[in-house]
Structure 1
Amino acid sequence: MQKSAIIFGATGLVGRHVLRELLNNPRYGKVTTVARRDMNIKHAKINQLIADFQTIEEIKDQLVADDVFCCLGTTRKKTPDLQEYYRIDHDYPVALARLTKANGAKALLVVSAVGADADSANFYLRMKGQMERDIVAVGLDRTHIFRPSLITGKRSEKRRSESLAKGLFTVIDPFLIGGLSKYRSVPAAWVAKAMNRAAEQEHGGVRVYYWKHIKNQL
C-alpha cells in the first residue's frame, strides 16, 4: 500500500528537493504541499494547499498523511523582528506537528541546525533547540531531526552573506574531520535525499542526523 506525505516549506531550498524526491518515490501515492502561494506544478500525485500560519487552522482537516516533512525556516535579514522569527521557526513547526499527529501522522522529519540547544545563549540555536524539544514532546511514533550546517544550493533569491560563507566553507570543509565533520556544508539535495530515505525506516523514537549521517543516506 502506498503512503501519503505532507511537505511544509516546499518552496524553499530543501523543500523543493524533498518534493522532487517524494514525487519520484513509488512508495508515495499522494504528496500534499502547504504553501502561501500556488507552486504552479502539475503532477498526478501532488495536492496543493494554500495557507500560512494565520490560516492553517482552516485547513487542518486536510492535513492528513503518514509522513510529515517540515522544511520551514526564515532568516534574520528577512525577519528582523525576533518574535516573528521565533513564530516562524518555532511556533509554526510545533503547531504543525500537533495538527498532523491529531490527524494520524506517524512520522515527522524536520530540518533544524547544527548546534541546536534549547539552553543556548545564542538566539538562533536556542530557538532551534526549543523547536526540537517541543516537537519531540508532541510524541509522534517517529521523529527524525536533521541538523545541517551551511546548506548549499541554488536559491530563488541572492544572499550575499551566504555566498561568502559558501566560498569560505569550500576552503575549510576538507579540514573538518572527525567530530568536526558535522560543521561541514551540505548540499540541499543531500538533505532531501536523506529525509526521503529516513522516512522508509520503521523503527520508533527520535533520531538526529548530522553531516556524516546525511552523507551515509545517499
Structure 2
Amino acid sequence: MKKAILFGATGFIGSFLLQDLLNDESYDQVIAVVRKRLPVTHPKLEMLIGDYATLPSMKESLVGDDIFISIGTTKNKTPDQDKYYEIDHDYPLLAATIAKENGAKGVFLVSAVGANADSKIFYIRTKGETERDIIALNFDHTHIFRPSMLMGDRKNENRPLEKFMIGLFSVINPLFMGNLQKYRGIKGEEVAKAMLNAAKKPAGKVQVYEWKEMKELL
C-alpha cells in the first residue's frame, strides 16, 4: 500500500482528486496540505495546516510515495506577479523538493496547455518554468498534465466569463481536430481521474498528458 501527498485539495481539480485518492484502495493514507481545515473526515486522511512559508517546518510529516500538485491561482485573485509566481512556481517546486528528499518516487503536476519556459507570456512561461524545474528534480516518474479549458461547475465561485467560455467550448470542442485536439476543454473530475490512473500504472521517466492522453487514461 502507498501514501499520497496532495497539494491543492481545495481547488477545482484537487477537490475531485482528494475524493478519488481517499476512495482508491491503492493508497492507505492521504496527506492533504491545506491553509485551513477541510469539512472532510476519512480514516485515511491526514490534514496538515500550512502554506508556502510554513512548509519547511512540516518536512518530517511530508513522507509519501507519490505527490500530487494541483496548486494554482488567477490574475484576478493574485494581480501581483511576484506573489503569482510564488504560488504557481515556487510553492509547487518546494513541495516537490521536500517530498523527493523524503523518498517520494512519483510526482503528478497540473500544468496548462502550451506551457513553455521560453514564452514571452507570463502565465505560459511560469507554467513552463515550473515543469522544467520539477523535471530537474529527477523523480523516478514525473507526470505532467496540461488541460486547456476546464469544464464544470466551480462551487461557491462566481465567474461569469468562465461560464460563458465553458458554454462556448461545449459547442466548439469537436472542431479541434488533429494537432489542435490539445485545446479541447476537459472536465476537472476527468483530469483528477487521469492523474490517479496514471499513478496506478506509471510508465517512463517523464510523461506529458494533453487532452488526448488524459482521455485515454479514463
TM-score by length of 1: 0.97
How many residues are aligned here? Answer: 217
Whole-angstrom CA distance in 1 between matches of 2:168 and 2:112: 18
Q: CA deviation at 1:92?
A: 0.5
Q: Paired residue for 2:209?
A: 209
Structure 1 stretch 156-165 or stretch 42-51: which is displaced more?
A: 156-165
Residue in 2 that maps onto 1:193: 193
Match of 1:47 in 2: 46
Amino acid at match of 2:175: F
> How many Å separate the matches in 2 of 1:47 and 1:132?
27
| Residue in 1 that maps onto 2:161 | 161
Matched residue of 2:136: which SS?
helix
Structure 1 residue 24: Cα displacement: 1.0
- Aligned pairs for 1:1-218 (under 5 A) are 2-155=1-154, 156-218=156-218
CA RMSD of aligned residues (A): 0.8
1:73-120 CA-to-partner distances (Å, cap 9, x unmatched) read 000000000110011000110111110000000000000000000001
Runs of 4 or more, structure 1, over 6 Å off, are none
* Matched-pair identity in %: 50
- Contact 2:176 2:184 survives alignment (8 Å): yes
SS of the counterpart of 1:190?
Answer: helix
Return the letter of the residue paired with 1:158.
N
Q: Choose 23-32 or 159-168, whichever is displaced more.
A: 159-168
Q: Is the 8 A contact 2:152 2:166 kept in 1?
A: no
In 2, distance between residues paired with 1:114 and 1:15?
18
Structure 2: distance between partners of 1:103 and 1:46:
19
Cα deviation for residue 201 of structure 1 reads 2.1
Q: Give the TM-score taking structure 2 as reference length.
A: 0.97
Deviation at 1:30, TM superposition (A): 0.2
Q: Which runs of 5+ in 2 are unaligned?
A: none
